Amino acid sequence: MKIALVQINPIIGDFAENSRKILDSCHEACTKGCGLIVFPELALSGYPPCDLLEIPSFIADHDEAFAVLCAKLPEIDVLLGCIEKRSWGNTGKKLYNSAFFIQKKAVVQKIQKQLLPTYDVFDEKRWFEPGDSSEVIECGGLHFGVTICEDIWHSEVNEYGKDPIHPFFDEGRSIDCLINISASPYQREKEAVRQRLFKKVCTRYSVPLLYVNQVGGQDSLLFDGRSMAMDKNGVVQAWSCGFEEDVLIVDSTDWSGMICEDVEEADLAALCDALVMGIRDYVRKCGFSAVVLGLSGGIDSALTAALAVKALGSENVLGVAMPSPYSSDDSMEDARQLAWNLGCGFEVIPISELFASFKKSLQPLFGDGDVSSDDFTEQNLQARIRGNLLMALSNKFGHLLLSTGNKSEMAVGYCTLYGDMNGGLAVISDVPKQLVYELARFVNRDGEIIPRRTITKPPTAELKPNQCDQDDLPDYAVLDNILELHLEEHLGVAEIAERGFAEELVADVLRRVRVNEYKRKQAPMGLKVTSKAFGYGRRFPNVQNYQG
């Protein structure tokens, strides 16, 4: 039997468009002789629908769309991730996260997700009731054990007291293949974890596995697809492309199929593709077609612009240089050259006169007749003037404003509220500074796009004479290591100092992280690419004084 594994890029709540994609894929699978087609977790609604699940009309519209979809299905068996209303019980949640098995246009079986994640960006127990049994479906003379996303991750997450896989093999039961339908977000190095986990399951039970994953950007989450078929020895026999919609046809005689040429792309290539996909989907799903961003001549804005052009096309990207009295000629030249290399729009709006006007207006209140260039007030004024200008362009032309700050700066508050933090999407806010440089060099792998000087010169905000980031911050190589240990491994001052860092320095970095939480709460949404990003998956109070 031929089986189609379909990774679609849904839009949450767009039942008509999601149904169209599902139906089109079913017709395509039929023309290719498939007997079964498998879609990702919550494919009809899109994942994660979050508190839309609490709106009765959302559930009603989902169910109506499902009924219409079923009536239009061709002659093919379908396994589809859907929302299921509970029909019994006075306690617990009203919904299941389920897989519906459909034959001859009718639902013949419903399988409920058993393990509901509540860590990091996940909060499924808020909306769903867990299922309590491991279910097998029969199709084409084969028996498939069906699991939904987290159900197969029990060995990697220590908080679960049950194993949804093991019952498939209890008491002499026999299945021919496992199926896992997922909406599993991308993060760096996660694919290696998946491969290890899936191989362990396949070899332990001597059973093949079909894995179908959602693809596309959804708010801060990036879903990489990479659906696959793995044989009983843990060897991948078929693999979809990453970061794009795809239909993978698998032959059940040996569980083989096509393997996308780019599926094993290097880490930097995958990261670049993830960010490009995230920009494209966020911009377009939110109803925009073009973006605007400030081009300072620095590395962060240069990388953001390069990613935006790849995502949206040069004609849909506008870069704006806003030189102040402290901007160097080199930076202006680099910003202009970058725009030329990318072929995007480029405008220059000097801010010196606006800056002088602000200082004149504030002079009576400040009392000393001026503000020192070493004063953060003066530096922040420049950033906020630029932020206002960019927001004005965004409002006037309907462009989404991209914020260009990186994770290292966001972590320690080296950024200005209502200034460089303005924007609708913070593209690289989960990319540490050292990784920004690696990505910039990757962008230039086939020729210079980001000017060489932008990559080699010392980083500077150019908000005062002869300024350098390291006037106020540790070397980024040191800072990024400390931040990773704290943010991703959750280590405190003493534990990080034991890794070879000066305790006083570590304490200062962690203090900065703590006292700048209020800034990050007001920052634009960022694209998540590490195991712990700022935003929904990291919930710390603004007002707290724990200094561990």
Average pLDDT of the chain? 94
The CATH number of the domain holding residue 179 is 3.60.110.10
Query: What average pLDDT does range 498-512 have in this prediction?
Result: 96
Which tokens hold the place of 62?
Answer: 């989902």
Instruction: Please tell me whether residues 211 and 316 are part of one structural domain.
Output: no
| Residue 264: pLDDT over 80 | no
Instruction: Give tens-digit pLDDT for 97-118.
Output: 999 999 999 999 999 999 999 9
Classify residue 506: in a domain, yes or no.
Answer: no
At residue 249, φ and ψ (nearest 5 deg) are -100, 125
Instruction: Give tens-digit pLDDT for 374-406.
Output: 578 999 999 999 999 999 999 999 999 999 999
Classify residue 398: in a domain, yes or no.
Answer: yes
- Contact between 418 and 385 under an 8 Å Cβ cutoff? The reply is no
Query: What average pLDDT does range 1-19 have in this prediction?
Result: 98
Instruction: Please tell me whether residues 335 and 221 are part of one structural domain.
Output: no
| DSSP 3-state of 312 | helix
Residue type, 143: H
Cβ contacts of 105 within 8 Å, gap of 6 or more: 70, 71, 73
What is the sign, positive or negative, of the torsion defined by CA atoms of 243, 76, 180, 174? negative
Closest CA to 122 of 209, 41, 215, 228: 41
| Residue 264 falls in the annotated catalytic set | no
| DSSP 3-state of 66 | helix
| Residue 70 falls in the annotated catalytic set | no
How far is it, in rounded angstroms, from Cα 124 to Cα 451?
45
Instruction: Give tens-digit pLDDT for 409-460.
Output: 999 999 999 999 999 999 999 999 999 999 999 999 999 999 999 999 998 8
Classify residue 218: in a domain, yes or no.
Answer: yes
The CATH number of the domain holding residue 382 is 3.40.50.620
pLDDT at 156: 78
> What is the three-state SS of 238-251?
EECCECCCEEEEEE
Instruction: Give tens-digit pLDDT for 215-240.
Output: 999 999 999 999 999 999 999 999 99
Query: Which residues of 118-164 form beta strands (DSSP E)?
Result: 136-139, 142-148
| DSSP 3-state of 81 | strand
| Residue 41 falls in the annotated catalytic set | yes
Instruction: Give tens-digit pLDDT for 276-287.
Output: 999 999 999 999
Exposed/middle/buried for residue 256 (C-beta within 10 Å: 0-12, 13-18, 19+):
middle
How far is it, in rounded angstroms, from Cα 176 to Cα 281?
37
Instruction: Give tens-digit pLDDT for 331-376.
Output: 999 999 999 999 999 999 999 999 999 999 998 888 765 545 557 8
Cβ contacts of 507 within 8 Å, gap of 6 or more: 493, 547
Instruction: Please tell me whether residues 400 and 296 are part of one structural domain.
Output: yes
How far is it, in rounded angstroms, from Cα 232 to Cα 272?
33
Neighbours of 291 (CB within 10 A): 28
Range name among 81-90, 148-157, 261-270 with the lowest pLDDT average: 261-270
Instruction: Please tell me whether residues 318 and 399 are part of one structural domain.
Output: yes
pLDDT at 263: 62
Residue type, 255: W
How far is it, in rounded angstroms, from Cα 304 to Cα 29?
38
How far is it, in rounded angstroms, from Cα 533 to Cα 188?
12
How far is it, in rounded angstroms, from Cα 310 to Cα 313?
6
Exposed/middle/buried for residue 1 (C-beta within 10 Å: 0-12, 13-18, 19+):
middle
Instruction: Please tell me whether residues 374 and 417 are part of one structural domain.
Output: yes
Classify residue 516: in a domain, yes or no.
Answer: no
Q: What is the DSSP string of 372-398?
A: -TTSHHHHHHHHHHHHHHHHHHHHHHT
- Of 460, 486, 521, the last residue of a domain is 460
- Of 244, 262, 280, the last residue of a domain is 262
What is the sign, positive or negative, of the torsion defined by CA atoms of 474, 478, 482, 487? positive
Instruction: Please tell me whether residues 254 and 289 are part of one structural domain.
Output: no
Please state, for a pLDDT cut of 70, what percent of the chain lies above it.
97
Fill in the DSSP letter of residue 151: G
Which tokens hold the place of 221?
Answer: 């989450």
Query: What average pLDDT does range 125-142 have in this prediction?
Result: 95
Query: What average pLDDT does range 48-60 have in this prediction?
Result: 97
pLDDT at 157: 75
Instruction: Please tell me whether residues 184 and 278 are part of one structural domain.
Output: no
pLDDT at 47: 97
Query: What average pLDDT does range 78-99 have in this prediction?
Result: 91
Exposed/middle/buried for residue 359 (C-beta within 10 Å: 0-12, 13-18, 19+):
middle
In order of 199, 271, 393, 407, 428, the CA distances from 530 in angstroms are 23, 10, 32, 10, 11
How far is it, in rounded angstroms, from Cα 11 to Cα 45?
8
Which tokens hold the place of 227?
Answer: 């659906």
Classify residue 536: in a domain, yes or no.
Answer: no
Residue type, 377: T
Show the domain range for 11: 2-262
Which tokens hold the place of 147?
Answer: 């699991």
Instruction: Please tell me whether residues 181 and 128 are part of one structural domain.
Output: yes
Residue type, 208: P
Instruction: State the catalytic residue, choosing from 26, 41, 150, 407.
Output: 41
Banded pLDDT at 170 (limits 50, 70, 90):
confident
| H/E run at residue 321 | strand 317-321
How far is it, in rounded angstroms, from Cα 11 to Cα 8?
10
Instruction: Please tell me whether residues 156 and 257 are part of one structural domain.
Output: yes
| H/E run at residue 401 | strand 400-403
Instruction: State the catalytic residue, choosing from 21, 26, 82, 113.
Output: 113
- Contact between 3 and 247 under an 8 Å Cβ cutoff? The reply is no
How far is it, in rounded angstroms, from Cα 279 to Cα 426?
9
Instruction: Please tell me whether residues 436 and 366 are part of one structural domain.
Output: yes
Strand 77-85 with 34-38, pairing: parallel
Closest CA to 313 of 335, 345, 287, 282: 345
Banded pLDDT at 154 (limits 50, 70, 90):
confident
Instruction: Please tell me whether residues 112 and 238 are part of one structural domain.
Output: yes
Higher-scoring residue by pLDDT: 438, 158:
438
Classify residue 484: in a domain, yes or no.
Answer: no
Banded pLDDT at 91 (limits 50, 70, 90):
confident
Closest CA to 431 of 224, 217, 122, 220: 220
Number of domains in the chain: 2
- Contact between 301 and 294 under an 8 Å Cβ cutoff? The reply is yes
- Of 427, 460, 493, the last residue of a domain is 460
At residue 340, φ and ψ (nearest 5 deg) are -65, -45
pLDDT at 374: 59
pLDDT at 265: 66
Classify residue 517: in a domain, yes or no.
Answer: no
Classify residue 213: in a domain, yes or no.
Answer: yes
Instruction: Please tell me whether residues 81 and 157 are part of one structural domain.
Output: yes
Cβ contacts of 532 within 8 Å, gap of 6 or more: 120, 487, 488, 538
pLDDT at 148: 98
How far is it, in rounded angstroms, from Cα 229 to Cα 237?
6
Closest CA to 95 of 133, 64, 68, 55: 55
| Residue 513: pLDDT over 90 | yes
